[in-house]
């Protein structure tokens, strides 16, 4: 079944794309409407094409300008596979050039639509080139603001200057005092010695007050004790742990602004014990075309050995991406994501916090056993519509007795349920 | 009827040796040096207070400093491009084949971590042998060759290819012989590759031999019926089985399959149908098959042939020339009884012999023919292809090499320098061969004498197929990319013979497309995919043809008698060679799981030994472990002696498969090589010879797991009855009729949802040990090595206890205590095996003594063990009446002392990621595979359905070829386990302690007939 639907999907996609291209060709020959073409281009073609550079498919600007046979282009856009099947030499050449990857067929694109797309591609390419010609070749790189190094250096210089000023001031005052002394104008302050004697005396008096000493000692012990207690309890608890990651991946943008479902990337959470960090091919689903200029995205390309100019992968240059693990559950505790996400229906945020607002992810929950058990004791088992629980005598007994059906009541806080 | 039958774990216990009695009084095996501490330089020392304060100060300081460690930064490295079929955390299963059995390979994140049986496997229906279970570990063995080798230096594949091809072309032009020496190959594709190679180099011959040979049977069938095949035996169709030295439940031909067949007529289901087969074993050493027999007759190797002649006489009613009575009146009597029983069960009888002598096997054929076994219990048409070696072929090749007629020789899965009886001949012959190539995965004894070693892939990395029995074809597919720079031997042969097909995968695929897929009604790409899912194709079963033996037996009988006379030369001892159940022919000597698997009968690990009858030991004043030099056939080895009840007097048994001199660090020099004791007689290798024994005066203790714990004279551990009694009363001897009033100190536990329990059928368990290895693989159980086993620190979560008892001569399993003394006939002992693992008692004594509540009871009837809570007081182990708790004396996984047992970074890849490894100072024990229970429940929850019986299978249950172990939920009255526990035969071990164990055992039943004397 899966295979059939997969085939269908592939087929329909190529149909769409071809129709789109064919339409482009037709409209160009008929001097089509570039404005209409732009709308169509953005709707149908940008998944794989750009005007000025090669993405999945060829750069359409130069390709469509150099190819003057509009009829061919229109046919190609509408149904490229028919052309290839008919062994059209040009079509076969393109097919071979792009590693025999199929372009989508677009049956819904009419000849007029295709002509419009072609017109748009050509005019856009012309304007782009004209604009490019105006810009000098060795244009200065865009000012991106001072780097962090510069800022640190500045701060350093300021601090240094401040210290120098202080030192110089001190020197000046010493010199002045010396000058005054020499001139006999400086009067030594004789009373100075008395003041500390008084102060120590007060301290000594306080020290003799046994009640006070006792009180202070008690306070100190209690303070130290509670500090030790709290520190020990929090040993190896890393709430708010926020390490620097190799790629500055903004969860707030992806999960927040873009509202991408967590499981799109962390697909394991539904099926497996590991939520799994997405492999980079998941990133490439979008970032082959989205934000290709960003240096952060280029880190993905580098890791994959992907060259955005040629859109080729070079596996010899690939190297693994080393993320820093934030949620470190010890080996001795078994945790299964699917049990909590799929069966219990928990939201990711319950444990991971407001990830959709985090620019960089940090550890939200303490991940201590106490924290686990508290939740197991308080949370009702999500058994609605789940025949596993509905047919369980234990559950019925609990309900009959008027007790809550929590994970704990179902044995969820027994040692061996997590430690094996 | 009471059961005063006396059981004993070892001779020390039986004889109450002073050492044993002394040791038994103590709680610990070795004295604890408390006395030394309290007296002498201990607390009474000169400056204890100052030293104490110093130590305290240093200790506190050191601990504080050690604690001031930064938390390590953990890296998380995802796939760059994740393969579609892999989800981290979820296992994938691939079908494959191991020695002709269809298996499933469990992989996690692309790493094979366990072998599981394919439930549809024709041979063992999901059962997997200990060897197959252990085979996954060898994949990660860092001692495997990592690239081709030429004259002991690493060599690239392209250079190797150039060199070999140039040489082969020159050799072809020269016209001298090329030989491919291999052990039996039952893979149709490999055979086709070799045939193609021979077509390219016509002066090539393929020579097949097996380290432990079955040539005798094959040639006997050629002589008797004109079919040079190893028959497919059907123990499931036999009501009376008589075996002369064939260890068919341990090592003979296809043990995992035979166990399944054999147990089918002896397990609970069969008993409830009032049916039980009868099995009589005549043998020299105590084999695992002999221990399972209803009647076992110890005979000398020299008596085996005569006994068969007598059996023939008794069945046919004629007298063959040279027939004589045995010196052994018991055996003589038994022969006449057996003959009657066999005749009574005509058509449902089976006689097998382990001998490799052609004449003996012809005689066995004639007996089976008289009994009408052909077509019923013996299938000559659907023959077995598991062994096809021809001993004479190997001998011929070696003489050809020594004559300088051979220019090139290839060794494929063959190691004659180790396992041929005249090792020196092979080594000398190899010197005269121009091109010697081995495909070995290790630089073994033969490979290290070759110019080129072209290391083969491991079977888990290879494409291939197998054809264990006629009409049953299994497919092998790789479950991992090659770990090292190795290449499949078939691929090498294809390249060297300029085959038009360059890839072995394509070759296998073509072969299946053309020849094999149609046999299972498959075709095309779709058929291929189906095949990879199911793992095998089988042709429709053809009824086995009947064959009648019609040859003159006079010459045969004469040969047999002559042979017997040769073995019984003078007054010498008779030596018998056998394969140990764990080590078999020694090919897997570098596998620590197998080395540490105790031999089912002797319970010896990490060694072979000279098994002697207790009477002989006593006669010569030997004690266990005394080194004796055995001299036979011009070869001698020195081995520790072991007093083995049941061993025939005047014989000594030695296991082959040990004493590797060129294996990895695990198997190197473990035991002594016994293969050179073999001799060639009438063209076949013979495993018995006259021998002399001499004590050296030294003692080298054996690492046995047997007498670790005494049974303290309790008689509620093993319960045994006879089939006769069982028919009268199914509950006979199970203790059901002894009602007691019980009082409990403890509250009852509630098991609201599940109550996980187990039922073990002692009548099905053959003691093979597959469960022990399966458990080690599933639960990351460590190997501790010989020295630690001797300190009684082996870590197996499940062990198989072996109890001896005296033969009560059919008196209904009852022997009065005072009568035992009269019955001390150590040649005729009976054995009961009992798998022993944590009983998950409801009133567990371990739980009440744990000071830190590290071991507690669950609401599902399990006894949980929280390792991270354990502080290592070992109170629980001391309080456990079943002695199933294991203590981690070392941090085995990170201790260089235990590296040798393949506990290194390579083999850590075999660990089950769902089970944590345990640290030093922590107690561990069977968890009833709680990871599987939890996974099973989760799967049901995700699929929104109730948990079904059989969803959860524990590792030992899953691998058991006998299906002796049933696990499940006792709250479900319809579950398999509930039904099994309802059996009248069920009893609980040490029931009188009222600890309410969760594992019920079913009584051992022996089919002892009345006519036995």
CATH number of domain containing B970: 3.30.70.20
Q: What is the DSSP letter of A192?
A: G
Interface touch B856/A414, C-beta < 8 Å = yes
DSSP-derived secondary structure for B325-353? --S-HHHHHHHHHHHHHHHHTTTSEEEEE
Q: How many CA atoms lie within 13 A of B636 on its CB side?
A: 12
Candidates A276, A285, A388: best to mutate against B (most CBs of B within 10 A) is: A388
Residues whose CB is less than 8 angstroms from the CB of residue B666 and which lie 6 or more positions away in sequence, other chains included: B589, B590, B591, B592, B595, B900, B901, B902
- Whether the CB-CB separation of B323 and B339 falls below 8 Å is answered with no
Interface touch A410/B864, C-beta < 8 Å = no
Single out the residue in B336, B364, B384 at which a domain terminates.
Answer: B384
| Predicted confidence (pLDDT) per residue in B448-493, tens digit | 999 899 999 999 999 999 999 988 999 999 999 998 999 999 999 9
Instruction: State the pLDDT confidence band at B528, using cuts at 50, 70 and 90.
Output: very high
- Whether the CB-CB separation of B138 and B591 falls below 8 Å is answered with yes
* B941 at A interface, C-beta within 8 A: yes
Single out the residue in B349, B384, B419 at which a domain terminates.
Answer: B384
Residue A133 pLDDT exceeds 90: no
Q: What is the mean pLDDT of residues A117-144?
A: 66
For strand A306-307 and strand B604-605, is the pairing parallel, antiparallel, or unpaired? Answer: unpaired
Q: What is the DSSP letter of B905?
A: T
Give which of B274, B916, B1002 is closest to A418, Cα–Cα.
Answer: B916
User: Which CATH number do you get for residue B327?
Assistant: 3.40.228.10
Q: What is the mean pLDDT of residues B616-645?
A: 90
**Is residue B684 located within the same domain as residue B733?**
no
Position A251 scores a pLDDT of 92
Position B992 scores a pLDDT of 83
Q: State the span(s) of chain A assigned CATH 1.10.760.10.
A: 7-126
**Is residue B395 located within the same domain as residue B450?**
yes
Interface touch B89/A334, C-beta < 8 Å = no
Position A68 scores a pLDDT of 76
Residue B444 pLDDT exceeds 80: yes
* A52 at B interface, C-beta within 8 A: no
| Predicted confidence (pLDDT) per residue in B538-564, tens digit | 988 888 888 888 888 888 888 898 888
Calpha distance B418→B587 (Å, rounded): 10
CA B799 to chain centre: 13
B136 part of a folded domain:
no
Collect all residues of chain A within an 8 Å Cβ-Cβ radius of residue B944.
385-388
Instruction: State the pLDDT confidence band at B363, using cuts at 50, 70 and 90.
Output: very high
- Whether the CB-CB separation of B650 and B619 falls below 8 Å is answered with no
Collect all residues of chain B within an 8 Å Cβ-Cβ radius of residue A391.
946
**Is residue B289 located within the same domain as residue B427?**
no
**Is residue B523 located within the same domain as residue B635?**
no
Position B808 scores a pLDDT of 56
Calpha distance B354→A389 (Å, rounded): 56
B106 part of a folded domain:
no
Candidates B74, B76, B749, B780: best to mutate against A (most CBs of A within 10 A) is: B76
* B948 at A interface, C-beta within 8 A: no
Of these ranges, A59-63, B188-192, B314-318, B571-575, the one predicted with the greatest mean pLDDT is B188-192
Position A89 scores a pLDDT of 79
Position B175 scores a pLDDT of 85
Residue B503 pLDDT exceeds 80: yes
Position B42 scores a pLDDT of 53
**Is residue B362 located within the same domain as residue B425?**
no
Pick from B143-152, B348-357, B897-906, B940-949: least confident: B897-906
Taking CB atoms and an 8 Å cut-off, how many pairs form between chains A and B?
144
Interface touch B78/A280, C-beta < 8 Å = yes
Residue B573 pLDDT exceeds 60: yes
Residue found by looking up tokens 């061969």 in the block: B433
Collect all residues of chain A within an 8 Å Cβ-Cβ radius of residue B917.
331
Torsion of CA B987, B992, B993, B998, to 10 degrees: 10
**Is residue B423 located within the same domain as residue B442?**
yes
Single out the residue in B488, B522, B538 at which a domain terminates.
Answer: B538
* Contact residues, A window 300-319, toward B, CB-based 8 Å cutoff: 303-304, 318
User: Mean pLDDT over all residues of chain A?
Assistant: 80
Calpha distance B957→B964 (Å, rounded): 7
Burial B238-257 (b: 16+ CB within 10 A, else e): bbbbbbbbbbbbbbbbbbbb
Residue A99 pLDDT exceeds 90: no
What are the C-alpha distances in Å from B16 to residues B20, B710, B715, B718? Answer: 6, 11, 17, 20
Position A106 scores a pLDDT of 78
Residues whose CB is less than 8 angstroms from the CB of residue B433 and which lie 6 or more positions away in sequence, other chains included: B401, B406, B407, B408, B409
CA B941 to chain centre: 38
- Counting residues of chain B whose pLDDT is more than 70, the rounded percentage is 93
**Is residue B735 located within the same domain as residue B620?**
no
Instruction: Kindly state the tokens that stand for B612.
Output: 């002697």
* A411 at B interface, C-beta within 8 A: yes
Instruction: State the pLDDT confidence band at A14, using cuts at 50, 70 and 90.
Output: low
Residues whose CB is less than 8 angstroms from the CB of residue B468 and which lie 6 or more positions away in sequence, other chains included: B99, B100, B101, B123, B186, B254, B384, B385, B386, B474
B100 part of a folded domain:
no
Instruction: State the pLDDT confidence band at B2, using cuts at 50, 70 and 90.
Output: very low
Collect all residues of chain B within an 8 Å Cβ-Cβ radius of residue A368.
none
Residue B207 pLDDT exceeds 90: yes
Residue B244 pLDDT exceeds 90: yes
**Is residue B677 located within the same domain as residue B721?**
no
**Is residue B836 located within the same domain as residue B698?**
no
B749 part of a folded domain:
no
**Is residue B203 located within the same domain as residue B282?**
no
Q: What is the mean pLDDT of residues A415-420?
A: 90
Residue B176 pLDDT exceeds 90: no
Q: What is the mean pLDDT of residues B944-955?
A: 91
For strand B349-353 and strand B240-244, is the pairing parallel, antiparallel, or unpaired? Answer: parallel
Q: What is the mean pLDDT of residues B501-510?
A: 91
Instruction: State the pLDDT confidence band at A22, using cuts at 50, 70 and 90.
Output: very low
Position A20 scores a pLDDT of 46
Interface touch B938/A415, C-beta < 8 Å = no
* B333 at A interface, C-beta within 8 A: no
H helix intervals, B839-912:
845-849, 875-879
Instruction: State the pLDDT confidence band at B43, using cuts at 50, 70 and 90.
Output: low
| Backbone torsion region of residue B625, taken as left when φ is above 0, otherwise alpha when ψ lies between -120 and 50, otherwise beta | left
- Counting residues of chain A whose pLDDT is more than 70, the rounded percentage is 84
**Is residue B669 located within the same domain as residue B773?**
no
Interface touch A419/B860, C-beta < 8 Å = no
Global pTM value? 0.82
* A6 at B interface, C-beta within 8 A: no
Q: How many CA atoms lie within 13 A of B205 on its CB side?
A: 13
User: Mean pLDDT over all residues of chain B?
Assistant: 87
Instruction: State the pLDDT confidence band at B32, using cuts at 50, 70 and 90.
Output: low
Collect all residues of chain B within an 8 Å Cβ-Cβ radius of residue A396.
none
Interface touch A411/B753, C-beta < 8 Å = yes
Residue A138 pLDDT exceeds 50: no
- Whether the CB-CB separation of B128 and B99 falls below 8 Å is answered with no
Residue B441 pLDDT exceeds 80: yes
DSSP-derived secondary structure for B245-309? S--TTTTSS-HHHHHHHHHHTTSHHHHHTT---EEEEEESS--HHHHH-SEEEE--HHHHHHHHH
* A419 at B interface, C-beta within 8 A: yes
Burial B712-729 (b: 16+ CB within 10 A, else e): eeebbbbbbbbbbbbeee
H helix intervals, A288-407:
295-304, 337-338, 348-352, 369-378, 387-390, 393-400
Position B40 scores a pLDDT of 55
B926 part of a folded domain:
yes
CB atoms within 10 A of CB B835: 22
* B75 at A interface, C-beta within 8 A: yes
Q: What are phi and psi of B467, to 5 degrees?
A: -145, 80
| Predicted confidence (pLDDT) per residue in B60-110, tens digit | 998 888 777 777 888 999 988 888 888 889 999 999 999 999 999 999 988
Instruction: State the pLDDT confidence band at A196, using cuts at 50, 70 and 90.
Output: low
| Predicted confidence (pLDDT) per residue in A157-166, tens digit | 888 888 998 8
| Predicted confidence (pLDDT) per residue in B857-890, tens digit | 999 999 999 999 999 999 999 999 998 999 999 8
Collect all residues of chain A within an 8 Å Cβ-Cβ radius of residue B858.
411, 414-417
Residues whose CB is less than 8 angstroms from the CB of residue B503 and which lie 6 or more positions away in sequence, other chains included: B491, B494
User: Which CATH number do you get for residue B596?
Assistant: 2.40.40.20
ipTM of the complex: 0.82
Options 1.20.120.1200, 1.10.760.10, 1.10.3720.10, 3.40.50.150; CATH for A7-126 is 1.10.760.10
H helix intervals, A41-147:
60-66, 70-85, 89-97, 111-134
Instruction: Kindly state the tokens that stand for B168.
Output: 């082969």
B481 part of a folded domain:
yes
Instruction: State the pLDDT confidence band at B46, using cuts at 50, 70 and 90.
Output: low
Position B710 scores a pLDDT of 52
Out of B75, B90, B753, name the one closest to residue A272 (CB). Answer: B90
For strand A312-313 and strand A306-307, is the pairing parallel, antiparallel, or unpaired? Answer: antiparallel
* Contact residues, A window 149-178, toward B, CB-based 8 Å cutoff: none
Out of A332, A343, A394, name the one closest to residue B752 (CB). Answer: A394
Residue B618 pLDDT exceeds 80: yes
For strand B295-298 and strand B278-283, is the pairing parallel, antiparallel, or unpaired? Answer: parallel
Interface touch B867/A279, C-beta < 8 Å = no
Collect all residues of chain A within an 8 Å Cβ-Cβ radius of residue B88.
268, 272, 274, 276
For chain B, how many structural domains are there in total?
4
Packed helices B215-225 and B358-370: angle between N→C axes, nearest 10 degrees:
50
Torsion of CA B781, B784, B788, B794, to 10 degrees: 20
Residue B865's closest chain A neighbor by CA?
Answer: A416
| Predicted confidence (pLDDT) per residue in B298-325, tens digit | 899 988 999 999 999 989 888 888 788 8
B97 part of a folded domain:
no
* A278 at B interface, C-beta within 8 A: yes
Q: Which domain holds residue B618?
A: 569-706
Pick from A213-227, B27-41, B204-218: least confident: B27-41
Q: What is the mean pLDDT of residues B919-930?
A: 93
Out of A320, A328, A392, name the one closest to residue B74 (CB). Answer: A328
Chain A: closest CA distance from residue B862 (Å): 9
* A237 at B interface, C-beta within 8 A: no
User: Which CATH number do you get for residue B493?
Assistant: 3.40.50.740
Position B415 scores a pLDDT of 92
Residue found by looking up tokens 């004493």 in the block: B659
Torsion of CA B770, B774, B775, B780, to 10 degrees: 140
Calpha distance A86→B369 (Å, rounded): 71
| Predicted confidence (pLDDT) per residue in A234-256, tens digit | 888 888 889 999 999 999 999 98
Candidates A416, A418, A419: best to mutate against B (most CBs of B within 10 A) is: A416
**Is residue B175 located within the same domain as residue B320?**
no
B787 part of a folded domain:
yes
Mapping DSSP to helix (H, G, I), strand (E, B) and coil, where does residue B76 land? strand
CB atoms within 10 A of CB B49: 7
* B32 at A interface, C-beta within 8 A: no
Residue A139 pLDDT exceeds 50: no
* A31 at B interface, C-beta within 8 A: no
Q: What secondary structure, in 3-state letters, does A195-209 show?
A: HHHHHHHHHHHHHHC
DSSP-derived secondary structure for A367-401? --HHHHHHHHHHSBP--TT-HHHHT-HHHHHHHHT
| Predicted confidence (pLDDT) per residue in A326-352, tens digit | 998 888 999 999 999 999 989 999 999
* B66 at A interface, C-beta within 8 A: no
């Amino acid at each position: 079944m899966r295979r059939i639907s997969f085939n269908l999907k592939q087929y329909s996609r190529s149909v769409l794309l071809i129709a789109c291209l064919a339409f482009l060709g037709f409209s160009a020959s008929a001097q089509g409407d570039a404005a209409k073409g732009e709308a169509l281009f953005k709707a149908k073609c940008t998944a794989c094409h750009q005007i000025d550079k090669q993405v999945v498919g060829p750069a359409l600007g130069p390709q469509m300008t150099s190819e003057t046979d509009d009829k061919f282009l229109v046919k190609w856009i509408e149904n490229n596979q028919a052309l290839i099947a008919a062994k059209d030499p040009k079509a076969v050449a393109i097919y071979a050039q792009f590693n025999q990857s199929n372009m989508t067929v677009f049956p819904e694109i009419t000849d007029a639509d295709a002509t419009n797309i072609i017109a748009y591609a050509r005019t856009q390419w012309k304007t782009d080139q004209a604009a490019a010609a105006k810009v000098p070749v060795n244009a200065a790189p865009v000012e991106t603001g001072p780097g962090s190094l510069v800022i640190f250096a500045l701060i350093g210089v300021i601090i240094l200057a401040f210290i120098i000023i202080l030192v110089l001031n001190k020197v000046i005052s010493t010199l002045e005092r010396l000058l005054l002394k020499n001139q006999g104008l400086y009067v030594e302050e004789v009373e100075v010695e008395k003041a500390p004697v008084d102060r120590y005396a007060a301290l000594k008096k306080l020290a003799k007050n046994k009640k006070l000493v006792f009180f202070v000692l008690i306070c100190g012990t209690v303070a130290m004790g509670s500090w030790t207690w709290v520190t020990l309890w929090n040993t190896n608890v890393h709430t708010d742990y926020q390490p620097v990651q190799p790629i500055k991946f903004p969860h707030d943008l992806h999960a927040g602004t873009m509202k991408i479902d967590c499981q799109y990337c962390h697909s394991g959470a539904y099926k497996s014990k590991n939520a799994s960090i997405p492999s980079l091919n998941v990133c490439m689903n979008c970032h082959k075309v989205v934000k290709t200029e960003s240096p952060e995205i280029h880190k993905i390309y580098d890791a994959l050995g992907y060259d955005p100019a040629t859109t080729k992968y070079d596996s010899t240059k690939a190297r693994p991406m080393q993320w820093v693990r934030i949620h470190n559950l010890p080996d001795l505790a078994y945790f299964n994501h699917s049990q909590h996400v799929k069966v219990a229906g928990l939201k990711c945020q319950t444990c991971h916090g407001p990830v959709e607002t985090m620019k960089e992810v940090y550890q939200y929950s303490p991940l201590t056993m106490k924290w686990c058990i508290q939740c197991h004791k308080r949370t009702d088992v999500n058994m609605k519509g789940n025949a596993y629980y509905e047919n369980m005598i234990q559950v019925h007994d609990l309900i009959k007795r008027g007790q809550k059906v929590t994970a704990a009541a179902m044995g969820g806080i027994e040692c061996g349920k997590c430690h094996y | 009827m009471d059961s005063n039958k006396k059981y004993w774990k070892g001779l020390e216990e039986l004889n109450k040796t002073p050492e044993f009695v002394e040791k038994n009084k103590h709680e610990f095996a070795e004295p604890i040096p408390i006395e030394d501490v309290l007296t002498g330089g201990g607390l009474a020392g000169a400056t204890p207070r100052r030293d104490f304060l110093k130590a305290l100060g240093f200790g506190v300081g050191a601990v504080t400093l050690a604690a001031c460690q930064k938390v390590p930064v953990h890296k998380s490295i995802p796939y760059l491009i994740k393969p579609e079929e892999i989800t981290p955390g979820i296992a994938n299963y691939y079908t494959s084949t191991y020695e002709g059995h269809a298996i499933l390979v469990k992989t996690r994140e692309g790493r094979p971590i366990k072998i599981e049986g394919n439930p549809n496997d024709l041979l063992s229906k999901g059962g997997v042998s200990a060897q197959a279970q252990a085979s996954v570990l060898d994949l990660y063995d860092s001692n495997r060759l990592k690239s081709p080798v030429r004259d002991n230096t690493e060599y690239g594949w392209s250079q190797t290819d150039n060199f070999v091809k140039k040489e082969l072309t020159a050799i072809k032009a020269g016209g001298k012989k090329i030989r491919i020496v291999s052990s039996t190959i039952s893979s149709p594709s490999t055979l086709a590759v070799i045939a193609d190679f021979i077509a390219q180099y016509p002066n090539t011959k393929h020579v097949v031999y097996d380290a432990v040979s079955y040539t005798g049977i094959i040639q006997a069938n050629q002589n008797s019926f004109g079919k040079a095949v190893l028959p497919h035996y059907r123990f499931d169709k036999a009501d009376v089985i008589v075996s002369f030295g064939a260890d068919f439940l341990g090592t003979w031909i296809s043990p995992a399959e035979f166990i399944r067949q054999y147990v089918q007529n002896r397990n609970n289901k069969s008993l409830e149908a009032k049916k039980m087969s009868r099995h009589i074993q005549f043998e020299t050493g105590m084999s695992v098959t002999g221990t399972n027999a209803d009647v076992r007759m110890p005979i000398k190797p020299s008596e085996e042939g005569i006994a068969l002649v007598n059996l023939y006489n008794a069945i046919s009613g004629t007298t063959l020339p040279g027939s004589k009575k045995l010196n052994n009146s018991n055996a003589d009597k038994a022969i006449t009884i057996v003959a009657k029983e066999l005749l009574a069960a005509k058509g449902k009888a089976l006689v097998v012999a382990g001998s490799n002598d052609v004449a003996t096997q012809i005689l066995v054929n004639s007996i089976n023919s008289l009994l009408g076994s052909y077509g019923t219990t013996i299938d000559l048409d659907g023959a077995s292809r598991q062994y096809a070696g021809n001993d004479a072929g190997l001998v011929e090749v070696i003489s050809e090499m020594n004559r300088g007629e051979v220019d090139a020789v290839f060794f494929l899965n063959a190691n004659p320098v180790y396992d041929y009886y005249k090792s020196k001949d092979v080594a000398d012959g190899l010197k005269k061969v121009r091109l010697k190539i081995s495909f070995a995965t290790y630089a073994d004894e033969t490979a290290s004498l070759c110019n080129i070693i072209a290391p083969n892939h491991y079977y888990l990395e290879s494409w291939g197929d197998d054809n264990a029995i006629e009409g049953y074809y299994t497919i092998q597919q790789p479950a991992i990319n090659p770990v090292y720079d190795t290449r499949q031997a078939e691929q090498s042969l294809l390249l060297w013979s300029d085959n038009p097909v360059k890839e072995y995968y394509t070759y296998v695929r073509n072969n299946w497309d053309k020849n094999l897929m149609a046999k299972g009604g498959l075709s095309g790409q779709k058929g291929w995919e189906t095949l990879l899912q199911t793992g095998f194709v089988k042709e429709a079963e053809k009824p086995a043809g009947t064959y009648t033996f019609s040859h003159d037996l006079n010459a045969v009988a004469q040969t047999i008698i002559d042979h017997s006379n040769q073995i019984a030369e003078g007054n010498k001892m008779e030596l018998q060679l056998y394969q140990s159940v764990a080590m078999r022919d020694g090919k897997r000597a570098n596998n620590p799981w197998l080395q540490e698997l105790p031999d089912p009968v002797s319970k010896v690990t990490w060694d072979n030994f000279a098994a002697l009858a207790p009477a002989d030991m006593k006669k010569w004043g030997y004690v266990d472990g005394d080194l004796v030099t055995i001299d036979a056939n011009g070869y001698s080895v020195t081995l520790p002696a072991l007093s083995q009840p049941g061993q025939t007097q005047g014989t000594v048994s030695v296991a082959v498969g040990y004493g590797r001199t060129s294996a990895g660090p695990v198997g190197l020099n473990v035991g002594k090589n016994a293969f050179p004791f073999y001799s060639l007689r009438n063209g076949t290798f013979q495993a018995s010879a006259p021998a002399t024994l001499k004590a050296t005066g030294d003692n080298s203790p054996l690492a046995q797991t047997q007498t670790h714990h005494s049974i303290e004279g309790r008689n509620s551990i093993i319960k045994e009855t006879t089939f006769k009694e069982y028919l009268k009363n199914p509950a006979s001897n199970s203790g059901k009729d002894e009602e007691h009033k019980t009082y409990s100190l403890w509250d009852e536990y509630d098991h609201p949802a599940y109550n996980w329990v187990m039922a073990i059928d002692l009548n099905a368990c053959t003691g093979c040990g597959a469960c022990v290895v399966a458990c080690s693989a599933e639960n990351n159980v460590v190997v501790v090595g010989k020295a630690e086993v001797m300190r009684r620190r082996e870590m197996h979560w499940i062990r198989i206890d072996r109890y001896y008892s005296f033969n009560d001569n059919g008196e209904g399993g009852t022997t009065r205590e005072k009568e035992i003394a009269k019955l001390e006939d150590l040649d005729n002992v009976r054995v009961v095996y009992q798998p022993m693992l944590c009983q998950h008692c409801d009133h567990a004594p371990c739980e009440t003594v744990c000071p830190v509540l590290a071991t507690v009871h669950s609401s599902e009837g399990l006894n949980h063990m929280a390792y991270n809570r354990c502080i290592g007081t070992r109170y629980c182990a001391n309080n456990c009446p079943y002695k199933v708790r294991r203590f981690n004396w070392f941090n085995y996984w990170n201790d260089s002392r235990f590296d040798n047992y393949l506990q290194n970074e390579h083999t850590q890849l075999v660990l089950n990621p769902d089970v944590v490894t345990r640290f030093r100072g922590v107690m561990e024990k069977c968890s009833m595979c709680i990871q599987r229970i939890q996974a099973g429940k989760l799967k049901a929850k995700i699929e929104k359905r109730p948990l079904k019986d059989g969803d959860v299978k524990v590792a030992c249950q899953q691998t058991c070829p006998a299906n002796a172990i049933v696990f499940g939920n006792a709250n479900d009255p319809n579950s398999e386990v509930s039904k099994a526990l309802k059996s009248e035969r069920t009893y609980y071990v040490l029931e009188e302690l009222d600890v309410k164990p969760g594992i019920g055992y079913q009584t051992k039943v022996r089919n002892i007939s009345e006519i036995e004397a």
